[in-house]
Amino acid sequence: MSEDRTLALARQLIALDSITPQDAGCQELLKARLAALGFRIERMRHGEVENFWARRGATGPVLCFAGHTDVVPTGPHEQWHSAPFAPEIRDGLLYGRGAADMKASLAAFVTAIEDFLAGHPDHQGSIALLITSDEEGPAVDGTVRLVETLAERGETLDYCIVGEPTSSAAFGDTIKNGRRGSLSGRLTLYGVQGHIAYPHLARNPVHQAAPALTELAAMVWDEGNAHFPPTTWQVSNIHAGTGAGNVIPGEMTVDFNFRYGTASTAEDLKQRLEAVLTRHGLDYNLRWTLGGRPFLTEPGPLSSALQAAIAAETGVAAELSTTGGTSDGRFIAAICPQVVEFGPINATIHKLNECVAVADLPRLSAIYRRTLEQLLG
């Protein structure tokens, strides 16, 4: 029996050492398969990042598959049970870095389109792919740049499926129809350095900041809403001191992050946090980084088509969810009213011995194909 086509392509992709922002030839594999199907392909390299935009058809509606060829670093190779870039099947699982996040989905995109076109060569609308190698990294020269280019040209999308690994307990159980926003800050608090035995001659920024940080940690930023949980604020790093045990530090740095939904705005969160710092009389500098605003796709044709496709292939009733971290969907939402994410089980992503169930690969491809049939068939 010949090897499943989705599995074969996934193995080819996993074998390429595409640690972010390197693509390592993954996109050439994808582009070759798409070109054979009549896609017009545009390479959109920015800096060190390889990207491409591919489209078949000139009319709407436009259904786009979006994803990334880059993967996170492997960690210690000796702690993997097999080499991370030598895909290996053991006990029904395909192992390798990027197996679940997200080379299985990339392979399934291609084979789903191949199968769909075999049965629907004169389909409605257009099929597109938006692929980057800068999702796991800074995400500044990847999808966001492609979206900017498409927006400048007046190109919009009607539907977009991002191939992130969204399934949780069982394959097919979760579709992401939105994501929280991410707002980070680096807070530098200034004091006066001095000898620890003469605190009256110094001013300790750690001591001064403690009441404000306690207040911020206890604040209820919002109550969330029907689609998103309440906003959270978490400190990720604190640094102060010279390393000596007898020196009061002259300054202190605090890194923190908000994860927020549509019940708050980035601007409101900034104002409320800065008001606390000011009220406590702190001498500070604050640098903000907006990683992404929240996006939400209300239930509609895309999520319904995908849920129906999942049910037909797996018997699972997929739930819509906005939990988890950020994704490139936050950028695509600027030019697409319906953006969802769906892919394999995410239990091993970014871990040692990342893997995906071999049996889920043809099912994933079939789900994408069925969705194409419902929306463009």
Q: Pick the catalytic residue from 23, 70, 141, 251.
A: 70
Q: Which two tokens stand for residue 124?
A: 């409605």
Please give the Cα distance from 367 to 116 (Å, whole number).
11
Q: 68-80 burial string, b = 16+ CB within 10 Å, else e?
A: bbbbbebeeeeeb
Asked if 240 and 247 count as a contact pair (C-beta separation under 8 A), the reply is no
CA–CA distances in Å: residue 18 to residues 44, 76, 140, 215, 351: 17, 16, 17, 43, 16
Determine the distance from the C-alpha atom of residue 204 to the mean position of all C-alpha atoms in its chain, rounded to a whole number: 39
Cβ(370)–Cβ(308) below 8 Å = yes
- Asked if the bond preceding 102 is cis, omega within 30° of 0, the reply is yes
Structure tokens at 44: 């959109």
Q: Answer whether 220's CB lies under 8 Å from 230's CB.
A: yes
Q: Which two tokens stand for residue 132?
A: 């980057």
* Angstrom distances, CA of residue 78 to CA of 74, 82, 175, 256: 10, 8, 35, 33
C-alpha atoms less than 13 angstroms from C-alpha of 283 in its C-beta half-sphere: 10
**Annotated catalytic residue: which of 23, 101, 114, 135?**
135
User: Of 80, 77, 187, 151, which Cα lies nearest the Cα of 331?
Assistant: 151
Active site residue 135: yes
Catalytic residues: 70, 135
